[in-house]
Amino acid sequence: MTADDALDAGGLAAPSTVPTGLPTVSVIICAYTEDRFGDITAAVNSIKAQNPPANEIILVIDYNNTLLGRAQKAFPDVTVVANENSRGLSGARNTGVERSTGEIVTFLDDDARAAPGWLAELTAPYADPNVIGAGGTVAADWLTGRPRWFPPEFDWVVGCSYVGLPTTVSEIRNPIGAAMSFRRKFFPLVGGFTDGIGRVGSTPLGCEETEFYIRLRRTLPGTSVLHIPQAVVYHKVPGARARWAYFRQRCYAEGISKAVVTDLVGATSALEAERAYVRHVLPRGVAHGLRQRAGWPRAAAVIAGVAITGAGYARGLVALRTGGLTAPSARPSGSVPTSPRQ
């Protein structure tokens, strides 16, 4: 079944003609704090510098009227809108997609900047009609330097690509949220990002893109989501995120988030990539670290990270079963998130 066959099966009208030339592209950036205004400017400028350029840039401000007004003045050639859905990254992303017009919707974090050619590399695979999503490399930009103890296998802690991801164009379950994309026409069919999973402000929860892409693949069987290593963005990692306290907090939150996703889509889909990562990638990381004295702290951090994430996952499952944590309802296929103004 092709992607367009699946769209027809869902009762939505398919295009009468096959589009020619390059697809139109919308780039969405979500922001919530004025503290990152310099980063937001760098992110916007990195998109303006892409060749070929994006058809539109949409900056979604998450419940911060001061930042909204400042951004509207600073970026007159950018569509700057307020989040019209629930507070948080999921709601802001849904707002951005609802306001977009491009055939391909791409996302860039507000503290990341796209390398030259990122957009062209990321969208090139969409020439294949069965490709419904794609993401690239999110390279860590350590502002205070990478700590010697921080294992590259755990760069996902700071929202970046990590050792264990494919090094060539490959199918994956889901891209990293800091730089991902999908075909916009399937957004109404899938239902958008689920509220209550992703980050709200600085609270380090996540996995909303994992749950979204699982639903996307289930709704459109036989289609592909690709990892494009040569599509590169640079993601800032401030000193506060290079500390052991953040590492511990983020690993624990990841475990809880994975428990929520498991409750929504089942353990097989939610943990498929993680099982392979724990069985194959992490043991190699520990062994590599133990072979040299300077690597012992990294090996210890890998072991601790697995234990802390596992503890968060167990705590999340217990809380879900005892009523201490309520999983959000996954957006049903065929639904479209609506804003309060509609």
Considering the four listed CATH numbers 3.90.550.10, 3.40.50.2000, 3.40.190.10, 3.40.50.1220, the one that applies to the domain covering 3-242 is: 3.90.550.10
**CB hemisphere CA count around 258 (13 angstroms):** 23
* Residue corresponding to tokens 């919530």: 32
Least confident range from 14-28, 238-252, 261-275, 278-292: namely 14-28
Residue 118: CB atoms within 10 A of its CB come to 27
pLDDT score of 17:
34
pLDDT score of 339:
38
**Which pLDDT band, with edges at 50, 70 and 90, does 30 fall under?**
very high
DSSP labels for 298-333?
HHHHHHHHHHHHHHHHHHHHHHHHHTSS-PPPPPPT
**Mean pLDDT value of segment 235-257:** 95
Instruction: Identify residue 323 by its one-letter amino acid code.
Output: G
pLDDT score of 342:
32
Instruction: Identify residue 304 by its one-letter amino acid code.
Output: A
**Which pLDDT band, with edges at 50, 70 and 90, does 331 fall under?**
low
**Does residue 204 register a pLDDT over 60?**
no
**Does residue 198 register a pLDDT over 60?**
no
Torsion of the alpha carbons at 292, 295, 297 and 299, rounded to the nearest 10 = -90
For 110-256, where are the E strands, in sequence order? 112-114, 131-142, 170-171, 179-183, 224-237
Which sequence spans correspond to the domains of the chain?
A: 3-242
**Which pLDDT band, with edges at 50, 70 and 90, does 336 fall under?**
very low
**Mean pLDDT value of segment 202-220:** 81
pLDDT score of 320:
86
Q: Find out whether 43 and 111 touch, Cβ atoms under 8 Å.
A: yes
Per-residue pLDDT tens digits for 93-144? 999 999 999 999 999 999 999 999 999 999 999 999 999 999 999 999 999 9
